[in-house]
Amino acid sequence: RLRVLFPLVPIFYAFLCLFILGAGDQGLFTSLYTSLAQQLPREPMEWRRTYGRAPKMIHLEANFVQFKEELLPKEGNKALLTFPFLHIYWTDCCDTETYKSSVKEDMMRWQNTLRSHSSADWVIIVVESNETKKKNKPNILPRSSIVDKIRSDFCNKQNDRCVVLSDPLKDSSRSLESWNALLLKLRTLLLMSFTKNLGRFEDDMRTLREKRTQPGWSFCEYFMVQEELAFVFEMLQQFEDALVQYDELDALFTQYVLNFGAGDTANWLGSFCAPVRNWSGLLLRRPIDMEKRDSIQRGEASLLDLRSYLFSRQCTLLIFLQRPWEVTQRALELLHNCVQELRLLEVSVIDGALDCWVFLSCLEVLHRIEGCCDPAQLAANCSHTVGLWAYATDKLKCLGELCGLVSKNGPTSEDLNRTVDLLAGLGDERPETGEFGLFLFYFFEPHFRFLHHLHMFLFLYFDFFSIGRLRSARLVGKSLAEFYMRKGDPVRAEPFMKEALKSYESEGWRLPVTHTRRQIAECQKLLGRTEDYLRTSALLAGDVNLSTEERKHFCQEILSFAGRSGNPSHKVSLCMNVFAQLTRLQFRPATASVHSGAVLQVELTLRCLMPVPVCIQQLAASIHFDVDHGGTHGRSKGATRQTNQGTIEFKPGTSSAGPNSSTTAGPTLEMDEIQDRSPSDNSLSSVGVVCKNTHLIIRRRENGSPPETPNCVSPPTVAMKEGGQMLKVQNVKLEPGNNSITFTAPPGTYTLRQLCATVGEVQFVLSPIYPSVRYEVYSQEPQLTVEPLSEPLLAGMPQLVKFTLLTGHYTVKKGDALQLSNTETMPILPSSSCTATLSIQSSEKVTSISLPPTLPYQVLEFQLEVLCIIPSGSERPANERLTNGEVRHRPHKDFRNKCYVHTMSIDCPWSIYSTLLALTFYIPFKTKHSLLSSGNRKYIQVCVQNVSDMNFTLTDMKLTEKQHSSLELQSLNTKTNQLLCSKHSVFCLWEVRWKDDLPSCLQCVFSANFCPLNQDASAFKPFHYQFQLERVTTLYSVRAEILPPPGEQHCRSGLVCGLEVCITRLTEPSEGEIAEDSKTDTDGLKNAKLMYEVADSSSNWAVCGKSSGMVLMPLKANATHKVQIEVMPLFAGHLPFPKIKVLKYLPHNAAAAIQPDPDSCVENDSLSLLDKTLDDQADTASIRSRGSIHSVGSSDQQQKGVAMPRLEPFSPGQVFNNSHSQQVLVLPTTDDHIMEVNAT
Amino acid sequence: MAVCIAVIAKENYPLYIRSVPSQNELKFHYTVHTSLDVVEEKVSAVGKSIGDQRELYLGLLYPTEDYKVYGYVTNSKVKFVIVVDSSNTSLRDNEIRSMFRKLHNSFTDVMCNPFYNPGDPIQSKAFNGIVSGMMVQTG
């Protein structure tokens, strides 16, 4: 709510009502007026308005004045305020006589006067009282008759123009009623008259306004007319309507001024174009500035007078309307507008006069607003007042500058003259206007100026802050700082400037940044803050928004400081980005990884931002040793890391911002591959790429900061990290623009960290280089690798082996040699294919290879021929040990790969340790043997299969038996030289002949010579295969015969025929056999229990009845046993005989200790015969001990567990089946119509 | 007509600012920068009352003795500021509005350019042309 300071001062009290007191009690009438005037405005009346304007409730006040002829408005007088709206005639006449004689005449006269002034608003009030009635009792007349008479005489159609008031002084209900009726009547009539007259007035006013294009029309006159309307509205408390009148006037005037600007000049404007002589500002404390009003009325007002008056009226009304904030807004508009209008109208104003006027006006408005508001209200609405404050401040500043008040030397005489002129225009010191004029007066006094100035600024500064207009506040702060600077107080200026600079930097406004920074530089220079000043200077020197001269100046500032010989221990560190930008970093070679022998160059491209060439005493790049990558020799690692071909481009801004740049650029995409495989067969059904951090990337960034531009943002202060290694270049001249600087990198794995340019006392330091750049200069140990020239290496043949020597950091001197320990099984052959630079000397133990002198980081390759001798079966060399304790030779037998692994020990000149290298040789052959029998005759077959990819010639195939000299092995092989192609086999056969007895166990050695195809005989190498055959002797012969059914010549399918099996003992029992079996014998006879079994696996035969049985065979030569079995052929044709198996039957108490592996005699690989290791000797042991019953633990357990009669098959060769693969003809049954043909 | 036209990004840094060459460029920078205060004030005041349908045109931001500063905020919070000479009294509110609309359309074209990286200073010739058209010599 508004606190209205001054009481509402009504200037125009009420409607004018003229009255005539007729004959009667004068005192009574007079007493009635007072209560009438009081009671009339009590009740509101509805005011219906013309032109569709909304009706309003208004209170009517009236001013009752005794009628005088001169009070009636004259013809043409448009005044509304002095207009008599209602005429009243009072009478208490109740006597007809009196009425007729005098009253009527008086009334007639009054009426005529009114009519002559065309005033139709009148009323006649007849007061009746009991006293007058009583007084006139004798001559009784109906009291209504007087009223009736008056009505009939005067109100011929308007009966309501005559009102009766009865007993007004009494408290009876009747008198109260008539009193109220009178009031209502008066209000109605008054309002009616007002509406009518107002309408007429408005019409007249409009007519006048329409005439404005006519010559001689005066705005001032019109102004007075419309203002009258405004006054009336104000009187009716219709402030809104009153304000509208003033606004209309305002707009009309503005339009004229604008038209003037457009060349349409109105004559009456001439008075407003008069030179401004008074600039005392607005005057708002009086509701009406009559002085100005008078001057307007006289047509002597200046533009400022008119505007001031208009605004003061508007201000008053707005404050009535409780809209003080509109006042401030309008005030600002007005002030701006006035300045413009004066310019437009080309009114001559002395310099500074307008500034004075605006300044005083601002203060006046502010004062007025402060006067009607609470401090709390003011504080809450300071956004409205702040504009005025700013304007006033601005103007004050202008005045200060104009009058030389802010200059250090004080005002000049010219300034003082101007000041005097300005003071003159402030006008006479009226009590109302004096205050601010005086203030301004004092302002011009040298002692006061700063105080006030300062106060205003500060006040404004905080005002802006409190309403959140930070930017405006900082701008004000900056001008405050400028003021301080002028005053020579840089200490107080600096924080304001910094604040402003921070704001511009954070929002990326370059020009203000540059401007403010330049001011700061000045300030810092005054303060003697060398470091800060240099930093700012560097920024400014590289600022493209400045002129070259200025940039050169600031650059020179730095250089001159740098040239000063100061304290050498303290160097000023500045951020390099303001001085030069690292735009590119290039490695040569591009992998950024070289061995220590080569040269790695790092080329930096620096874009120098300075306007002039700058000599740099030293440019150093600090490097950081990477421990984790230091020792890995990570050649490949380094190479893969540098995917950018050794060139890193630094985008401007990113390098300076360092890790912050990632936040401005947003998070990087994190992509993942997804594969969808079907669960059944694991086949790929879909592949996709998924972004894992969409929520970060798509997230709306509300508080984004502007993109950082190198010159816009103050770089972070960086310090050169002490310690660490440096790449240095001395005395470089950096030209403006791109410069290329090359460093040579020291060995090691390093990350580039910082860059530092030193100019005298000044260091320019680049914050850690981002993205981090790493290079590697590595040192490599010599490396020797030996690998086969062709895969695989074959045993038994000379093979080429490639030696590769990477010399690494080692320089191979003359006389350096590789010492290879010789082994017997793998001799190194002097080979012709060796390069001529090598000289190989072999002694008994050592082969020495002299290396040619070689530089570091070279590759030396040569080939050697080695031979892996396939040891003959008999040899079993003991493990030999070298002098150094290493197992020198340990060929490892690998059953699966059929290979030997030879380990070579090489002594290298660069190391005290021997290098052990393993070579794997593969045997080219796979050998199988088998024993074949024909009755008592025995044959041995050896199959040699070539598993290699080479073709060989085999020769001198021999089979020897080692133990039995009586034994003769007769070769049945026709060829001595046999071609053995890759993946093919050769079969060799020998017949075993013996003289006395065939030994049950044969130790055979197969030997042959082989060489690759198409090589001469010297290349032949021996190959041995040792194997053992056991239980060779044929013990039984089995003969089977199919007997056709009786009466038939041939067997027929479906008919049972006989199978006669005849088992014959061929040999006398050997000693071992007797020993083995006799124990089981219960009687004296030496018998062996045999089990036979007829089984037909191919379903050709059906065995009828007993298919198996046991026979007791006497252990005697030619003992025969025959068995009859019934079988039935199921098909016709040549059917093979059913199979007859003969097995050894071992009773339950017999020790069926060992079942010899049936395969062991049939097939054995060559390796088993070769050098047996300890593992293998367990096998041999078991074989050897097979004669004993209790052999090994495992079979012992087996024996205990199974105490059942068991069957044991004979070894192949022990049973000879005569009828093996014999066939018999089976005829089909005669009545068999269906012939089944089996085609397979 | 206009003496200075500025496009200011959501983050309040200038995307484009051009002023009449005859006058002090720096002054306009300060003026436009300061006007952002009023823009923020107006936007936040409007935001409170009506949520969705906001008038983009902010009207007169603040007058100074010499200039009138008008504001316009797109839905993406990009601000347009037009500074008009105060002496140019013939300029109506509607004309200012249409200037802003034209500016907005041209700005939209710039944003539609696939080679324009949002957030970068505007260097479009077409946009420059439109602005030049609005900045007719004021004498």
Contact A66, A21 (CB under 8 A): yes
- Average pLDDT along chain A: 73
Q: Over the stretch A812-865, which tens digit does the pLDDT of each residue have? A: 887 788 888 777 777 777 665 555 566 777 777 788 888 888 877 788 888 888
d(CA A616, CA A619): 7
d(CA A593, CA A574): 32
Instruction: Give mean pLDDT, residues A235-260.
Output: 84
Higher pLDDT, residue A632 or A748:
A748
Query: Does the structure show a pLDDT above 80 at A429?
Result: no
The two counts, helices (H) then strands (E), for chain A are 31, 50
User: What token pair was written down for A4?
Assistant: 């209205």
Q: Are A709 and A508 in contact (CB under 8 A)?
A: yes
CA distance A747 to A595: 8
Lowest mean pLDDT, pick from A630-639, A793-802, A1064-1073: A630-639
Residues of B in contact with A515 (CB under 8 A): 26
Query: Does residue B40 surpass a pLDDT of 80?
Result: yes
CB A568 within 8 A of CB A632: no
Residues of A in contact with B7 (CB under 8 A): none
Contact A94, A149 (CB under 8 A): no
Most confident residue range from A5-9, A377-381, A684-688, A992-996? A684-688
Looking at chain A, the whole-number percentage of residues with pLDDT higher than 70 is 75
If you compute the radius of gyration of chain A from its CA atoms, what whole number of angstroms results? 68
A340, A386, A470, best to mutate vs chain B, most B CBs in 10 Å? A340
Give yes or no for a cis peptide into A771 (omega within 30° of 0).
yes
**Predicted local confidence at residue A434, as pLDDT:** 46
* Tens-digit pLDDT profile for residues A126-135: 777 665 555 5
Q: Which residues of B62-75 are buried (b: 16+ CB within 10 A; e: fewer)?
A: bbbbbbbbbbbbbe
Query: B98: distance to nearest CA of chain A, Å?
Result: 23
Backbone dihedral angles phi then psi of residue A102, each to the nearest 5 degrees: -120, -45
Q: Of A394, A508, A512, which is closest to B30 when you measure between CB atoms?
A: A512
The rounded distance, in Å, linking the Cα atoms of A342 and A784 is 100
For residue A1172, pLDDT over 70 is answered with: no
| Among the partner residues B12, B26, B41, nearest to A511 by beta-carbon distance | B26
Instruction: Give the end-to-end CA distance of chain A in Å, rounded to a whole number.
Output: 121
Residue A492 near residue A484 (C-beta atoms within 8 A)? yes
Would you say residue B82 lies in a domain?
yes
Q: Looking at CA atoms only, how far is residue B106 from chain A in angstroms?
A: 22
Cis peptide preceding A589, ω within 30 of 0: yes
The pLDDT > 90 percentage for chain A reads 0
Per-residue pLDDT tens digits for B54-80:
688 888 888 888 888 999 999 888 999
pLDDT tens column, A282-325: 777 777 777 788 888 887 788 888 888 888 888 888 888 888 88
Q: Give the whole-angstrom CA distance, residue A638 versus residue A622.
A: 20
pLDDT at A11: 42
> Domain residues for B107?
2-134
Per the domain annotation, does B124 fall within a domain? Answer: yes
Q: Residue A435 — pLDDT band, cuts 50, 70, 90?
A: low
| HEC per residue, A620-684 | EEEEEECCCCCCCCCHHHHHHHCCCCCEEECCCCHHHHCCHHHHHHCCCCCEEEEEEECCCCCCE
Contacts of A509 in chain B (CB under 8 A): 13-14, 29, 33
User: pLDDT band for position A191 (50/70/90)?
Assistant: confident
A471 touches chain B (CB under 8 A): yes
CA-nearest residue to B76 within chain A is A702
pLDDT over 70 percentage in chain B:
90
Lowest mean pLDDT of A325-339, A443-457, A507-521, A565-579, name the range. Answer: A443-457
- Is B111 part of any domain? yes
Asked if the bond preceding A1045 is cis, omega within 30° of 0, the reply is: no
* Residue among A600, A619, A641 at smallest CA distance from A748: A600
Whether B5 has a pLDDT exceeding 90, the answer reads yes
A1086 Cβ under 8 Å from any chain B Cβ = no
User: What is d(CA A251, CA A263) in angstroms, rounded to the nearest whole number?
Assistant: 18
Specify the higher pLDDT residue, A776 or A442: A776
Give yes or no for residue B18 having a pLDDT over 60: yes
Q: What DSSP designation does A894 have?
A: B
Q: Can you give the pLDDT at residue B82?
A: 93
- d(CA A589, CA A1147) in angstroms, rounded, equals 87
* CB A311 within 8 Å of CB A332: no
Sign of CA dihedral B57, B58, B60, B61: negative
- pLDDT single digits (tens) A522-560: 888 888 888 888 888 888 888 888 888 888 898 888 888
Task: Report whether A386 contacts A464 (CB < 8 A).
Answer: yes
- For strands A1120-1129 and A1057-1065, give the pairing: antiparallel
Which residues, numbered 380 to 419 in chain A, qualify as contacts with chain B under a Cβ-Cβ cut-off of 8 Å? 383, 387, 391, 394
Contact: A332, B30; criterion CB under 8 Å: no
Q: Which of these, A28, A26, A60, lies nearest to A42 by C-alpha position?
A: A60
pLDDT, tens digit, 9 for 90 and up, residues A367-402: 888 877 777 777 777 778 888 888 887 887 787 777
- pLDDT value for A18: 65
Interface contact flag, A258 B89, Cβ < 8 Å:
yes
Q: Does A344 touch chain B (CB under 8 A)?
A: yes
Largest separation between any pair of C-alpha atoms in chain B: 42
Contacts of B11 in chain A (CB under 8 A): 507-508, 704-706
Confidence at residue A621, expressed as pLDDT on a 0 to 100 scale: 81
Specify the number of domains making up chain B.
1
B65 assigned to some structural domain: yes
For the sheet containing A1108-1114, what is the strand order? A1108-1114, A1087-1095, A1139-1146, A1206-1209
What DSSP letter does each residue of A311-339 carry, written as one string? Answer: HHHHHHHHHHTT-HHHHHHHHHHHHHHHH
Task: Determine contact: A436 vs chain B, CB below 8 A.
Answer: no
B68: closest chain A residue by CA: A336
Task: Read off the pLDDT of residues A1078-1130 as tens digits, 9 standing for 90 and up.
Answer: 444 444 556 778 888 887 777 788 888 777 888 887 777 778 888 888 888 88
The answer to whether A653 contacts chain B (CB < 8 Å) is no
**Domain contains B139:** no
Residues of chain B that touch chain A, judged by Cβ-Cβ distance less than 8 Å? 9-14, 25-26, 29-30, 33-34, 36-38, 40-41, 62-65, 86-87, 89-90, 119-120
Q: Please write the tens of the pLDDT for every residue from A577-621.
A: 778 888 888 887 777 777 776 778 888 888 888 888 888 888 888
For residue A1169, pLDDT beyond 60: no
**Closest Cα in chain B, distance from residue A334 (Å):** 10
The whole-angstrom separation of Cα A180 and Cα A193 is: 20
**Helix ranges, A288-412 (H):** 290-298, 303-320, 324-344, 353-371, 375-380, 382-402
Higher-scoring residue by pLDDT: A78, A845: A845
Query: What tens digit of pLDDT does each residue of A458-488 get?
Result: 667 777 777 778 888 888 888 888 878 877 7
CATH number for B43: 3.30.450.70
The pairing of beta strand A985-993 with beta strand A968-971:
antiparallel
- Cβ-contact A15, A79 below 8 angstroms: no
Interchain proximity B33–A705, CB inside 8 Å: no
Residues A305, A342 contacting (CB under 8 angstroms): no
Strands (DSSP E) along A792-935, which ranges? 793-794, 798-806, 817-821, 828-829, 839-842, 846-850, 859-867, 899-907, 914-922, 925-934
Residues on chain A touching B60 (C-beta within 8 angstroms)? none
CB pairs A-B closer than 8 Å: 73
Joined together, the tokens standing for residue B27 give 């002054």
Q: What is the pLDDT of residue B125?
A: 92
How far is A148 from A144, CA to CA, in rounded Å? 6
B98 domain-assigned: yes
From B119's Cα to the closest Cα of chain A, the distance in A is 8
Q: Nearest 5°: phi and psi at A1010?
A: -140, 155
CA distances from A879 to A579, A828, A891, A895 (A): 76, 20, 10, 20
Residue A333 near chain B (CB below 8 Å): yes
- Partner residue opposite B34 with nearest CB, options A261, A471, A704: A471
What gap in Å lies between CA A923 and CA B125, rounded to an integer? 83
Strands of the A937-946 sheet, one edge to the other: A925-934, A937-946, A985-993, A968-971
Ordered structural domains, chain A, with CATH: 9-132+143-211 (3.40.50.10140), 219-458 (no CATH), 469-528 (no CATH), 537-627+646-651+719-779 (2.60.40.10), 783-869+897-921 (2.60.40.1510), 924-1030 (2.60.40.10), 1034-1070+1086-1145+1208-1231 (2.60.40.10)
Q: Is the pLDDT of residue A1202 over 60?
A: no
* Confidence band, pLDDT 50/70/90 cuts, at residue A878: very low
Q: Which has the minimum average pLDDT: A168-177, A421-430, A948-957, A1193-1202?
A: A1193-1202
Question: Number of C-alpha atoms within 13 angstroms, CB side, residue B85?
Answer: 16
- Contact flag B63-A333 (C-beta cutoff 8 Å): yes
Please say if the pLDDT value at position A1219 is more than 50: yes
> Is A705's CB within 8 Å of B89's CB?
no
Inform me whether the pLDDT recorded for A67 exceeds 80: no
Find chain A residues with C-beta within 8 A of B75's C-beta: none
pLDDT computed for residue A894 by the predictor: 41
Which ipTM score applies to this complex?
A: 0.90
- Specify the higher pLDDT residue, B90 or A317: A317
Q: Say whether pLDDT at A969 is over 90.
A: no
Contact between chains at B33 and A383 (C-beta distance less than 8 A): no
Q: Is residue A452 classed as helix, strand or coil in its secondary structure?
A: helix
Pairing relationship of beta strands A839-842 and A783-788 according to DSSP bridges:
unpaired
Please name the member of A261, A504, A507 whose beta carbon is closest to the beta carbon of B89. Answer: A261
Residues 6+ apart with CB under 8 A from A420: none
Two tokens, residue A887: 């197992």
Q: Nearest CA to CA, how far is A247 from chain B (Å)?
A: 18
Facing A470 at nearest CB: one of B37, B89, B120: B37
State which amino acid sits at residue A1084.
G
Answer yes or no: is pLDDT of A640 > 50.
no
Q: Is A329 exposed, middle or buried (0-12, 13-18, 19+ CB in 10 A)?
A: middle
CA distances for A614 relative to A555, A619, A734, angstroms: 9, 12, 5
Residues of A in contact with B38 (CB under 8 A): 469
Q: How confident is the model at residue B103 (pLDDT cuts 50, 70, 90)?
A: very high
Q: Mean pLDDT, chain B, as a whole number?
A: 85
Angstrom CA distances, B42 to A76, A463, A469, B39, B60, stand at 52, 18, 12, 5, 10
- Stretch A501-527: mean pLDDT: 88
Contact B33 A504 (CB under 8 A): yes
Range 527-556 of A in CB contact (< 8 A) with B: none
